[in-house]
Structure formats: C-alpha cells, structure tokens
Structure 1
C-alpha cells in the first residue's frame, strides 16, 4: 500500500513528516510512503532510516507548497505543483491509496472537493474527530472545520456519515447521534439546528436529540454533530484546557516538596490519563464525503502523530472507508 504525505504541510515540516514516515514504515513492513515536497530538504532527514525502510520511502519533488495563512480555495487552484495538490493528484490517479497532510485545513478541504470530488448525495464534506471521553466511549465530533457555516441538510448528512463511520468502521452496532445545541429542550437552537433536528427525527438514524457542550467530554453519545465553526472552537478549547491544567499542576508541584513526593505515587495514573487523551495517539482524522481517503493531521503534529495518521489512513483504506460510505448512501443510509 502506497500512502502520499504532504511533507511540507504543518508547523514542523518537513522534519516531522519525514520522521513520521520512517516510524510508520518500521511499524508496517507492507507500507510504502511517498513524501511530496522539496527533495533537497527532505533527503537529509531520511539518512537515519534503516536501509530496508529507506527503500520503501519515495521522494516526489516540488519546491511549491501551501502555507497556513494562504487563501484555501485560491492556493489549491493556483498552486498546481504544491505538495498538497500533487499528493491529492496521486490519490486521484491511483498512484497512492490515501493522502495525509498537517497543512492548511481549508486548502485540504478545497483540494478534496476540487481534486477528488464529492461522494454522490453529499453537498459538503465534514471532518470528524474521535474525542476521548470520561466514559469508556469514544465520541465522533463532526464537523470540526471543513464546513464552517452549514445548512440543515449539511448537518443531516454529517450525522449520516458519522453514523456510517461509527457502525461500519468502528464497530458500534447502533450508533447514537445528537445535535450540539445551547440546551437540551426542543425549543433551543437556531433556525439551522431546529430544522436539522426535524430532519434527523424523520430519518432512520438513532437520533437522541440535543446535547450541550458539557455533555461532549462525558461521552453521552456516539456521534455529535455541529457546524465546522462551532466544532473547531470546541475542539481547540478542549486542547487549551488540557494544556492549561497540566501547566497549573506543574506550577503547583514546583512550589513545595510534598507535592513532588505525591507525584511519584500519582505518576502511573497520570501516564495512563495522558495516553488516553493524547491527540497524537489518534494522529489524524478522515475528511468524510470526498471520493478518496484524505487524512487531516494536527498542524503541530510531530513524528508520532504523523506516524499514527498514516496508520489511520492505512486502516481506513483497508476497511474500504470511502466505498462503504458511498455504498450506504446509495442504499439510502442506515
């Protein structure tokens, strides 16, 4: 299986994408990775790779890339030789099974639509992120940035794709679906949310109504649906809160001796909690609704996260993720 990586995308490119590719190829001996970017910058980072691994990593040269602050639709159209666009073209012509990028989210979405096209029956794609919760359940939150402003039909289609994803690809037998709103009562929500609620109530999905922001970390439902603006704010708030709590703990521990002693006993538990909520463990998330496997990694991704994003791509391809969603939509949903 060949996977294409936008090696120039992300805050730590191309170093971390290169190292992530090495890690992934070490984990899976059947994997091949095409690193798309400036070969002169990437080649030195591959010197540390074992010979057996290095022969499965291919460099696709281009000196053009899309930065984080560029206009998404303009850049993906005009920069036809950018690392992101070329990686997506590889998927379109079947030279690669999937594309992974930690780059400009808007450009990834625009590229997915422009280069790969939408699945029939889907108006706008959505990014779904698995959220580790305080319960044993993992909730899928979508959208988190692909479609900033939504119509009721977009939210309904997100719910459908999220339910298909959780059932067919994660193994949840009858996924519950909820709309994120500003209250649990039926009268809450703006016009878009209210109309989406009525559409979902009339659907065959296991729709359980509204959830509030406080319910998301509690894991009260399998799929949480919202527009991309709200989802992105919620996701970034959660990341910031986690980092803030950790920094406060470090600050308090450094002030006196007793907390340091207590930390020794708490260390195993803290390591387990860190593993459970570590975004790098999930690596990346699929752009649902386009006719190709596109995995968006966090802009700050280091090698571990890129490696895990490659594993997400590998598994999504192996489980026929795109085809499964397309087939279920063609049957009228689930």
Structure 2
C-alpha cells in the first residue's frame, strides 16, 4: 500500500508532516510512504527516515490565500497537485494534506475524479464527543447547497466509513435539524427525511446539534454550510473551555491545588477533545482517497491520519461505497436523484 503525503501544507510546515510520516512508517512497516514537497525544505528532515519512506520533489506550493481553482490549474507542479496525480495514476492508493482546503477539494474533483453517480463529494471529519467515541459528520464544507439525493449519498458513504474504518457494526444515521420531529426543518431536510426512511440504512431520524456531541448517533448528515458552522462552533467552544479552565486553576492557591488533584481527569478530557486523536477528514465520493488533515496538525495528528488512511484502503472502502450507492438509490426510490447525479457527474 502506497500513500502520498503533501509536506508543504499546514501551520507547522514540513516538519510536522515529516515527523508524522516517519512515525507512521515505523509503526506500519507494510506501508510505502511518499513525502511530496520542495527538496531544499523536506530532504534534510528525512535523514533518519526508515526505508519505507521515499521523497518526490514538487517545485511549487499552493498558499492558504490562493484561490483554489486557479491555483490547481496554474500550479501544476505544486505538492497538492503532484500528490493528487499519483492517486489518479494509481501510483499511490491515497493522499493526505494539511494545506489549502479548497485547493485540496478542487484537486480531488478535477484530478482524482468522482465515483460514478456521485455529484457532490463530502468532507467528513470525526468530531469529538463527551465520552470520547467521536461522531462522523458529513458534509462540513465541500458542498454548501446540496440536493436531497446528495444527503442520501452522504449517509450511505458515512455508513460504510463508520463500518469499515471505525469498526461500528450497525452505524446509526441522524439528519441534523432544528428539532427531532419529522415535519420540522427547511425544504432540504424535509425532502431528505423520507428518502432516508426508505433506505436500508439504520436511520434514527432528526437530531439536534446539542445531541450530536452526546453521541445520539454515529453518523450525522447535513449540508456543508451547516456542517461547517457546527465544526467551527465546536472548535471555538473547545478553545474557550480550555482558556476558562486555565484561568480557574492558575489564579489562586486553591485553584492550583484543585488542578493537581484533577490532573488525570483533565488530561483525559483534553485527549477526548483533541482533534489530533481523531485523524483526518476524508473527501468521500472520489475514485481515490483524499484526506484533509487539520491545518494546525502536529506530527501525532499526521501519524493518526496515516493509520486511518491505511485502514480505509485495506478495507476497500471506495469499492464498497460504489456498490452501496447503487443499491441504496433503488431501495430508497430516488431514481430521479440518481439520474441527476449521474448527469452532473
């Protein structure tokens, strides 16, 4: 199995990507890992890398501020585009990047390509939950204005991912809404609800945002606009909680004593809420696997994401998604949605 890692994206630069790649290579000797980036910046970091790590030079870099479509088309020698081509050509089974999210999604669509019948791929991270199990949410920004048939496809792909990568035997699927009643919501969720109800999936109905983090279901389906707001809200709340706790435990002697007594519990709480422990966010619905790693990722986050990617590829998740998408379209009766998706694809 061969995986390409874009070393030029992310807040910490090549160092974090290389650190995580080397750690993953030692942990998984069955992997062949290709680090893609500028030679003068990356090669010196690979002096102690094991034999299953190789390097591929890519002259250009897509910056965070670059317009995604223009950057992918004009920077053909960039690390993101080079890694995506490795996946398209079959030289690599998957790619990871902590770089420009829009450019990565554009490269996935224009270079790697979509699965048959999939009109809009979905970005699917695992978000932290109160007991540390995590919840798969899709979409969180790849498609801001989906159709009901797209949300059904998200549910199918999320179900396969939860089964094969997360090891959940019969994943429960929830539709994110402003209430749990079947008749609530906007046009999109009202039209999606009956399609999911008729599908062979374990659909439990509507779920509210407050219940998502209480582990009301294993997979949450929503449009990219709502999903992105949910994701950013969680990040903001998590940061705010840690700031408040730090202030509480450092402003007085009693607080410092409480911190010492609660050290183990606070450490576990931090681990449960740490995005680095949940891996990357795959762009589901493509012919090859493209994974977005958080921009602030350190070496540990890259290592976890590579392990997650290894599981995805070894379980042949992409092929199974293609098979289930066809089966579910007929079971739910959404032939028109499937036809439109095929035309768009």
TM-score by length of 2: 0.91
Number of matched pairs = 330
- Aligned 8 A contact 2:4 2:86 in 1: yes
Please give the residue correspondences for 1:12-31 in structure 2 after superposition, counting only pairs within 5 Å.
Answer: 12-31=12-31
Unaligned runs of at least 5 residues, structure 1: none
**Is residue 308 from structure 1 mapped to residue 304 from structure 2 by the alignment?**
yes
1:1-334 superposed matches below 5 A: 1-47=1-47, 49=48, 53=50, 55-135=51-131, 137-332=133-328
The whole-number CA distance in structure 2 between the counterparts of 1:240 and 1:3 is 32
Q: Is the 8 A contact 2:119 2:150 kept in 1?
A: yes
Equivalents in 2 of 1:167, 1:14: separation in Å?
Answer: 33
Whether the aligned pair in 1 keeps the contact of 2:24 and 2:307 (CA below 8 Å) is: yes
Q: CA deviation at 1:137?
A: 4.3
State the Cα deviation string for residues 75-110 of structure 1 (Å, max 9, x = none). 222221111011011111121121001111122111
Indicate the larger mover: 252-261 or 185-194: 185-194
How far apart in 1 are the matches of 2:149 and 2:67? 26
Distance 1:229 1:332 in 2: 25
- Answer yes or no: is the 8 Å Cα contact 1:105–1:145 preserved in 2: no
Tell whether the 8 Å contact from 2:35 to 2:53 is kept in structure 1 after alignment: yes
Residues 255-264 or 67-76, more deviating: 67-76
- The Cα shift of 1:61 comes to 1.0
How much does 1:283 deviate? 2.2
- Name the SS of the counterpart of 1:5 in structure 2: strand
TM-align CA RMSD: 1.7
SS at match of 1:186: coil
Tell me the alpha carbon deviations over residues 275-303 of structure 1, each in whole angstroms, 9 at most, x when there is no partner.
22211112212111000011110011111
Rounded Cα–Cα distance in structure 1 between residues aligned with 2:55 and 2:144: 34
Note the C-alpha offset of 1:198. Answer: 2.4
The CA deviation at 1:164 is: 2.0
Give distance in 2, aligned partners of 1:252 and 1:138: 27
CA distance in 1, matches of 2:41, 2:285: 34
SS at match of 1:107: helix
Q: Please say which of residues 322-331 and 138-147 is displaced more in the overlay.
A: 322-331
Whole-Å Cα distance in 2 between the matches of residues 137 and 274 of structure 1?
14
Q: CA deviation at 1:136?
A: 6.3
Q: CA deviation at 1:2?
A: 2.0
8 Å contact 2:6–2:37 — kept in the other structure?
yes
Q: What is the rounded CA distance, in whole Å, between the counterparts of 2:307 and 2:172 in structure 1?
A: 26
More divergent stretch after superposition (80-89 vs 67-76): 67-76
Distance (Å, rounded) in 1 between the aligned partners of 2:177 and 2:145: 15
How far apart, CA to CA, are the structure 2 residues paired with 1:203 and 1:234? 26
